[in-house]
Amino acid sequence: MNHSFLYRSALIFLLGFIFSIQLTKAQDTREKKVIQLSGIILNSDSTDAVPGVNVYVPKKGRGTSSGRFGYFSMPVLEGDSIVFTFIGLKRQSFKVPDKVENDRISLILTMEVDEIALAEIEVMPYPTEEEFKKAIIAMNVVDPMSISRANMSPEMLLRWAEQMPASGNENFRSFQQGQMIQNQDLYGPRPLRLLDPFAWSQFIRSIKRGDLKSK
């Protein structure tokens, strides 16, 4: 009989303890108020806004990012820890107080540059300095004037001129000639150059100048 009484007493005490813990958790959850956290993020000089800063609550897995002018706004709970991170800037954190009278908190946060000093590294194109010196001494230096003379030769200039596309002036002139020919076709037959005395005079002068001589 005593064992049964002790067993029931222990069971009642355990159930009461569990119920009190659950009730305390429920009260804590209900007591936490939702706060609208907003603010502006500036650089260390407080002159320029920092867009794209990650603003999040690590334990809750929610967050946002600062906009174009460094402004952000997000709902948080009392007691939340907010982290601000951005590549190249030092990590910042802010903890919401456990008891907040108002339902809004505004911040002006400045983030400093995260300077990471690395050890100096000397990069050599050869395993040792001696081999590098030998390779420099053995190099054959080409005379730049010989390259310039080869590139400026008449044969090379003629080849470049043949491969060069038409300029804007030439394209416009060709377009104008095409438009003129279209207008002539619309309002009458195209003139025959064989019957044009001015064309014959130009042809004769070109023969006298030797323009038609074969190269």
Alpha-carbon torsion 101, 102, 103, 109, what sign? negative
C-alpha separations of 164 from 157, 161, 167 in Å: 10, 5, 9
C-alpha separations of 56 from 97, 125, 187 in Å: 16, 46, 76
The domain spans of the chain are 32-111, 118-208
Strands (E), 31-190: 34-43, 54-57, 62-65, 71-77, 81-86, 89-95, 104-111
Which residues have C-beta within 8 Å of that of residue 130, sequence separation ≥ 6?
Answer: none
* Strand arrangement, sheet containing 71-77: 71-77, 34-43, 104-111
| Range 32-111 classified under CATH 3.90.1150.10 | no
What are the backbone angles phi and psi of residue 116, rounded to the nearest 5°?
Answer: -115, 115
pLDDT tens for residues 81-112? 999 999 888 899 999 988 888 889 999 999 98
pLDDT at 168: 74
| Residue 54 contacts residue 63 (beta carbons within 8 Å) | yes
User: Residue 136 has which token pair?
Assistant: 């420099």
More confident residue, 72 or 155: 72
pLDDT tens for residues 36-74? 999 999 988 877 899 999 999 988 888 899 998 899 999
Amino acid at 106: S
| Residue 191 contacts residue 184 (beta carbons within 8 Å) | yes
Q: Is the pLDDT of residue 162 over 80?
A: no
pTM: 0.43
| Residue 64 contacts residue 56 (beta carbons within 8 Å) | yes
Neighbouring CB atoms inside 10 A of 84's CB total 24
